[in-house]
A and B are shown apart, each in its own frame.
Chain A
Amino acid sequence: MIRNPLSWSAWAIAALAAAFIDRSPWLQGLLLLVVFNLWWAYRGRRGSTYWKVGVALAILPILFSAALSRFGHHVLVIFPSVPIIGGAWTWEAILYGVSTGVALLLTVAVFGIVSSTVRSADLLSLLPPPLYRAGTAVALSLAFAPRTASSFRAIREARRLRGHRSGWRSAPALLVPLLLTTLEQALQYGESLDARGYGSGQRSRYRPLRWSRLDAAAMVAALASLILTLVFPSTPYNPYADLAPAAPAAVSIIAVILLAAPAVTAALPGTDHADHHA
């Protein structure tokens, strides 16, 4: 099991690079397999909201491309002459959209995997000193969010009973007290941070980053993959030139397979199978 957040960050960057740059359907298919494999190995208790969003988002480029592009020989359907979207919707356009859509889906999936394998507290302590305050702001806002949501519901309930219609007109009455209450609570948060010594100055780290051999191996694999993807990018897929995709170069295939390293290490005998934080 890979636990080190730095390894995961390296993996995420390499995977994002591959998702973004490799548009050949063969490579994308392979990448999808790799990502799914990883998700399966590291799935936590969190649900699959990421996949749903990803799929929804993947459809958009398909529609875009198909609707706006008139080139291509293999026609799917011809719409009546409505301005802009009227005319022939071609397979070329659709396939182009598909490849973009899958790329987007993959990026969402990468984020999904990373969010279930890395603890937010670890990430925060990982940040270099210049970024620490910004990271704290993010962590704080994440901490505030659930309480704000329940405050909001409480205010809405109470107002309904005060006899006010909950609608559009009552928005200032909902927003302003919610805002002020949350801001006042923020002051106590700020004081609490101050009282515990938060500020500029050298910070040390309580939980050291543990590097196992597997973590290191995964990191090396990720970096190698990234370098291969950037230095030897795969030939871009152009359905307009040729509907069928070209066979991918061996280098590209290797780059994608390297991304499967965390999944491979998870399956090795003797690795720690303790439940990681989800």
Chain B
Amino acid sequence: MKRGFASHAEDAVLAGITVAGLVLFFAPLLLGSRFPQAVLLFSALVAVSALVVLGVAVQTHRLSTRLLAVLAALVAVDAVMRLVIVVGLLGFSPIFFLIIAGGFAMGPSFGFAGGALTLLLSAVLTAGLGPWLPYQMLAAGWVGMGAGYLGRLTGRSTSRFTIGLLAIYGAAAGLAYGLVLDLWEWPLLLNPAASTLSWAPGLGLGALARRFAGFYLTTSLVYDAFRAVGNLVLIAALGAPVVVALNRFRRRFLVQWSVHEPVRAVSTVNISTDVGTPA
């Protein structure tokens, strides 16, 4: 299947969202003491929310109705699995497995929207709505998106090697998710004057990096390690059957051929609808 114009536009949008998101994650840390901290964080929160909403809106806009419903179904299954299988140890959450597997099988846009919406639905269902949500949604969107690109690169194969690669991605993504969220939590949880590990306005990049490293290592690393290992194990164990099933489903019901000319006089026509998930 050829990758046409659609996929370049799709990549561009995802890149834009990623850059904007990273800026918003880092900006409050670097802007120093010119603005009152709380106002700054609040504005960042609003900006990230807007970005997530925009990102999801754009990604879902190009999906056909069928795909929209399939996205919703995937999100629902993931969120419900998390509720029903109450196995959680520290950072481990089964929620990322489907985000990654789904993104891998269905493409980066789908993965982004799926990741963000899964976190949203999960928060709604567990009444865990809070200021962390937009950040979680964005970060989870990135996890799904990355899996989608990995899928594109490997042609969505389900060989042992590829699944192994996916498992490693899952581990890395688990750690990265925690790291990124920590960036958000860092200024929030520790008063600037309170600790050698806390964020303080006006510090140089080097000092910031050192302090953050210290903060991360002491607080999140263990927590995130559980998530990373959990993802790795889940993907290694369940990745293959789930991706096979999703691939088959996608091929049978969703993959379309290219759109052709309008259909007045022609008697035999290949009709399809552009699905927005290029090969």
Chain A residue numbers with a CB within 8 Å of B238 are 171-172, 175
In A120-151, the 8 Å CB interface with B consists of 130-131, 133-134, 136-138, 140-145, 148-149
Tell me, in angstroms, the Cα distance from A178 to B246 when the chains sit together: 12
Binds A, one of B9-17, B34-42, B140-148, B151-159: B34-42
B80 and A148 contacting across the interface, CB-CB below 8 Å: yes
A189 and B127 contacting across the interface, CB-CB below 8 Å: no
Chain A's interface size range is 35 or more
A96 and B191 contacting across the interface, CB-CB below 8 Å: yes
B69 and A96 contacting across the interface, CB-CB below 8 Å: no
A236 and B38 contacting across the interface, CB-CB below 8 Å: yes
A-contact 0/1 string along B231-269, CB 8 Å cutoff: 000000110011001100100010000000000000000
Among A49, A141, A172, the one with the most B-chain Cβ atoms within 10 Å of its Cβ is: A141
A134 and B241 contacting across the interface, CB-CB below 8 Å: no
Tell me, in angstroms, the Cα distance from A144 to B84 when the chains sit together: 15
B190 and A182 contacting across the interface, CB-CB below 8 Å: no
Chain B residue numbers with a CB within 8 Å of A53 are 126-128
Residues on B close to A: CB < 8 A? 36-39, 41-42, 45-46, 53, 56-57, 60-61, 63-77, 79-81, 83-84, 98, 113, 117, 120-121, 124-131, 188-191, 193-195, 197-198, 218-219, 237-238, 241-242, 245-246, 249, 253
Judge whether A6 is part of the interface by a CB distance below 8 angstroms: no
The distance from the CB of A64 to the nearest CB of chain B, in whole angstroms, is 5
Known contacts A68-B219, A137-B113; A148 and B131 CB within 8 A of each other? no
Tell me, in angstroms, the Cα distance from A100 to B76 when the chains sit together: 32
Judge whether A276 is part of the interface by a CB distance below 8 angstroms: no
Judge whether A233 is part of the interface by a CB distance below 8 angstroms: yes
B66 and A190 contacting across the interface, CB-CB below 8 Å: yes
B-contact 0/1 string along A169-195, CB 8 Å cutoff: 001100110111011011101110110
Judge whether A228 is part of the interface by a CB distance below 8 angstroms: no
Chain A residue numbers with a CB within 8 Å of B42 are 16-17, 20-21, 230
Judge whether A219 is part of the interface by a CB distance below 8 angstroms: no
The distance from the CB of A170 to the nearest CB of chain B, in whole angstroms, is 11
B194 and A176 contacting across the interface, CB-CB below 8 Å: no
Among A23, A130, A179, the one with the most B-chain Cβ atoms within 10 Å of its Cβ is: A179
Q: How many A-B residue pairs have CB under 8 A?
A: 214
B-contact 0/1 string along A89-103, CB 8 Å cutoff: 000110011001000
- Checking B71, B81, B83, B131 against A137 with a beta-carbon cut-off of 8 angstroms, the contacting residue is B71
B-contact 0/1 string along A110-121, CB 8 Å cutoff: 011001000000
Judge whether A61 is part of the interface by a CB distance below 8 angstroms: yes
A199 and B65 contacting across the interface, CB-CB below 8 Å: yes
Chain A residue numbers with a CB within 8 Å of B53 are 131, 134
Tell me, in angstroms, the Cα distance from A50 to B190 when the chains sit together: 25
Tell me, in angstroms, the Cα distance from A91 to B75 when the chains sit together: 43
Tell me, in angstroms, the Cα distance from A104 to B37 when the chains sit together: 16
Judge whether A78 is part of the interface by a CB distance below 8 angstroms: no
A141 and B79 contacting across the interface, CB-CB below 8 Å: yes
